[in-house]
Amino acid sequence: MCYDGPIFTIKTDSNLKQPKPRSQKLPRGQTLAAGAQQEEYIISAIRNLQKFSSLQGHINRVIGPLLLVVFGQLIVMICALTFLPIIYSKTLNLPYLIVFGGNWFAIGFRLVILVMCLGNVYIKGQEVNVGLAKAMNSTVLSPSTQSSVLAHLTVFSSNPVSFTAWGFFPITRGTLLATFSLISTYAVIFLQSNISAG
């Protein structure tokens, strides 16, 4: 099952360029400026994202090899189910083509679901980074909070949160497009060579 909800949300007030500090009564009679509350919230979001990233890194180390094998297996099976009917199109009858086509759709659907679910982690991580950048631009933050946000954005923009196939490539929605474009390119080549040979 895919998780499609937000990992974290960053509260920003984009209508104000520099918000005026407002105070809010706390239960003990203390006052805390709204800017300080937002800074605490931003620092908390950064810590939570770093914890999530660490957990996701541990999960990646455990299932990364399995993801590489499953991803490779699905691509090889789709290639076989695409290229074999093209190569043997003159000798295959309709029931075999229906079996090949049904299996192609089943395995293709499995690949799409795998990539879409794992690719959501990358998208949600990028949404958090965008939210942090907007929060940094829309509020007046202390220098220590600014340096924390900049350090986080520097690390996570060059090394985003995502599942990888044993570190070889990140599994994002772009991976799906690259896979199907590769398969369709070779299918056209096989089809042309089969037409010219026949």
Q: Locate the domains of the chain by residue range.
A: 32-197
First-residue to last-residue Cα distance in the chain: 46
Task: Say how far apart CA 53 and CA 126 lie, in whole Å.
Answer: 12
> Whole-model pTM?
0.75
Task: Say how far apart CA 157 and CA 161 lie, in whole Å.
Answer: 9
Q: What is the pLDDT of residues 156-198, one digit of tens each?
A: 888 888 999 999 999 999 999 999 999 999 999 989 988 888 6
User: 74 is written with which tokens?
Assistant: 């699905």
Give residue 78's pLDDT: 95
Say how many CA atoms lie within 13 Å of 193 toward its Cβ.
10
